[in-house]
Structure 1
Amino acid sequence: MNAMRIVGVLLLMLGLAGFLTGGFSFTRDTTQAKLGPLELTVKEKESVNIPEWLSLGAMVLGGAALVLGFRRK
């Protein structure tokens, strides 16, 4: 497989994953206070939404890269 086909497949997979999941979340530890040997930490859960237009655009670009990769052969 040439590089254009690999990029096309990766974009298609990432676009499909973003479209199906809608986003991802992660937990971040932050230190709120430090009093001598005591330390107060807070776990914050944050989420990132992936817009549908971005996922669809990645799938369209991936499909175009895949088609162009086959045409150059």
Structure 2
Amino acid sequence: MNPLRSFAIVLIVAGALALAYGGFSYTRDTHAVDIGPLQLKVQERSYLHIPIWAGLASLIAGVVLLGSARKSR
């Protein structure tokens, strides 16, 4: 499998996942207070929204690359 075809498949999968889920959430640890032996840690939960146009663009680009990889064979 050539690298162009592999990249096209990755783009198609990423675009499909972006359209299906619309984003992902992650947890970030922050160091809030450190007073002597006492430590206070805060976990912030954030959500990263992936726009629909980005998912569609990735999906379309993957299909176009996959089509061009097959023509060059």
Fold shared per TM-score above 0.5: yes
Q: CA–CA distance in 2 between the matches of 1:28 and 1:3?
A: 34
Q: CA–CA distance in 2 between the matches of 1:24 and 1:8?
A: 22
Aligned-residue identity in percent? 34
**Number of equivalent positions:** 73
**Counterpart for residue 40 of structure 1:** 40
Q: CA–CA distance in 2 between the matches of 1:51 and 1:8?
A: 20
After TM superposition, the runs of 4+ consecutive aligned structure 1 residues lying more than 2 A away are none
Q: CA–CA distance in 1 between the matches of 2:16 and 2:72?
A: 25
Alignment of 1:1-73 (within 5 A): 1-73=1-73
Match for 1:50: what amino acid?
I
Segments of 5+ residues of structure 1 without an aligned counterpart are none
Q: CA–CA distance in 1 between the matches of 2:62 and 2:20?
A: 16
1:14 Cα shift? 0.3
Q: CA–CA distance in 2 between the matches of 1:12 and 1:24?
A: 18
1:2 Cα shift? 1.4
